[in-house]
Chains A and B, each alone.
Chain A
């Protein structure tokens, strides 16, 4: 009896030792040498796996960062400049200049501005609605209001406003990962440069129709008249396909275009209230 037990122990120990030797040899022979910095960089990243950087997840970005010669063009949007600076220290490289950005919804087609002319009772999904018809309004470019962008946002930075039927973005929570930009089938959401005190000036419209039809579809549509282009002193505004666009890197927030726009398509946000005199209109504050 005792011999059986002893025999078993010896046999198992021998088997274990042989297996250990085989495993050791294989582990040495097929060893994957990985840069230890990848793990450190991956731990520094936020770990949301949002995909905003353009890679599959945080670890993929970490691998790319470690491999790359310079940090130019590689950016973790949620982490922003703070995280990128930390990574630059770890990798001992020059930190690339990071421009903080924020998402804006370029549509102001509230029921008040843009009349609802049809009903939709299909699946509540923007892409389904987009493939079926132009939407509940006469504008074939505007927000469909099904909230695909809100579903796509992993940072709770978006919500659908039940009154305006448009998505609202909370600037403090938005990390500019771009998930909503990809989710929107109509390319309404844009990432713009963040300004002091979250101030914003942008064309809140994506209608590319000529003036007449655009205005007919929506009261606050951009009609491509070009008045804003003429008034802009910084060449920040261009009109293509009957639609004005303000380049956020050139805009100095002078607000001249806002006053000039005949339809009110250009929107200013988070600015102090204007004094309603002609003089203040002509002399906008340029404090940047």
Chain B
């Protein structure tokens, strides 16, 4: 009954300490910083100026180009300045700074708690609504949802897969959302099904969340065409291609997209955001973030306004423990260490994890012993040792031939390496270089 993907995969310790903590709403901070590049694609363009008064949910930056997304004010207050701020990696990015006063929402947003199940909008209107409300994929990649919903001519889609896997250790935000807002999520799934014109949707959930599987299964009777698929616990099952293989046994060919096997994948968080946008007219300006850590006094799942500084989240979780060695934005496998605590929460922030210093250091790097564990672990069937070594020696044409662009940077190879080699570090370098080479070749 439990399905999974066949190739590779690992079992890191789960450490889902916050699975039992209900989502709590974090108070609105006194000031927010809203980066204009919160999604994959071109950064949005600010349409407010210094001194403007904004309301919660008001559009403050418009999408630039096809693959881009609108950004809305998460608070009501006054625009202090439009300047640069540091993003999660520490580099400077343009951003809008807003000083908060009160919390006055835009009138068009329906703030009632009633669950609206009836879908009134048609296909085009749904896609437009998602575009207007700035919905992006909340699984972490932040790909604009309206682009994914609009199926290009010549392609067809017959199945929607909803990603409720949350295979990253520590993170529980999607898990809590499925438990607490199951009906909204399933309505959101129905909306996406209507937008895509498909009859069938599968929600994939890993077996370590039996309560979520049960509660959603109980709810599916009220929704047509939606089924719940329990999955074996294995990382990286949340990877798009792995999830498709696990749920419907279709294999996405190398270099192709899920749409090439007639599938579209969306995250549960995205489904919830789509529900809010379409049924409640609420733009995407808040999200659930898991704030956790082994020595954190009060870890939990928090509903946070975009733009809140990470330091405020840690404060709400009981303050930073003294022995903190590393603070990671995202999951422990794919997330990146934060360079600064003033970094704001963005649409793509799924978790903030505080690691004690004894767990945060990498071990000493020793020579590769050719054990092949990385090859066994790779869920894409690649040879991480080779890609890494070739990238290190700048033999990028060889890494391209060895399909480095198929790597999804899940980090399983680095995790299993007994020699502690920084495999993924070099593969990322090689992958970005090869992607640039391909782009340059295509533009010539």
Contacts and interface: CB of A to CB of B under 8 A. Distances in A.
B429 A125 contact: yes
B256 interface: no
Contacts of A134: 86, 89-91, 339
B426 interface: yes
A127 interface: yes
Interface in A120-136: 121-123, 125, 127-128, 131-135
Contact of B90 (A122, A131, A135): A135
Contacts of A125: 392, 425-426, 429
Contacts of B91: 133-134, 140
Given A121-B362, A140-B90, A209-B92, A131 B428 contact: yes
A132 B336 contact: yes
A28 interface: no
Interface in B107-141: none
Interface string B402-426: 0000000000000000000010011
Interface in B132-154: none
Nearest to B86: A134
B361 interface: yes
A118 interface: yes
A122 B426 CA distance: 10
Given A125-B392, A140-B91, A140-B92, A133 B339 contact: yes
Given A121-B362, A140-B91, A131 B426 contact: no
Nearest to B88: A133
B337 interface: yes
B249 interface: no
A122 B339 contact: no
Q: Is the interface of B mostly helix, strand, loop or mixed?
A: mixed
Contacts of A121: 361-362
B360 to A, nearest CB: 8
B407 to A, nearest CB: 14
B30 interface: no
A171 B361 CA distance: 38
Interface in B291-341: 336-337, 339-340
A117 B342 CA distance: 13
Nearest to A136: B339
B432 interface: yes
Contacts of A135: 90
Say which size band chain A's interface belongs to: 10 to 19
B425 A123 contact: yes
Nearest to B92: A140
A131 B429 contact: yes
A133 B89 contact: yes
Nearest to B432: A131
Given A133-B89, A140-B90, A122 B336 contact: no
A118 B422 contact: no
Interface in A43-89: none
A125 B90 CA distance: 18
A264 B101 CA distance: 43
A118 B429 contact: no
B41 to A, nearest CB: 19
A56 B89 CA distance: 36
Contact of A128 (B90, B362, B425): B425
Nearest to B429: A128
A108 B337 CA distance: 26
A122 to B, nearest CB: 5
A60 B393 CA distance: 23
A133 B428 contact: no
Interface of A: 117-118, 121-123, 125, 127-128, 131-135, 140, 209
Nearest 6 CB-CB pairs, A to B? Answer: A134-B90, A123-B422, A123-B425, A133-B89, A121-B362, A128-B425
5 contacts: A118-B339, A125-B426, A131-B428, A135-B90, A140-B86
Given A123-B422, A132-B336, 14 more contacts: A118-B90, A122-B422, A127-B429, A128-B428, A128-B429, A131-B429, A132-B89, A133-B89, A133-B90, A133-B336, A133-B337, A134-B86, A140-B90, A140-B91
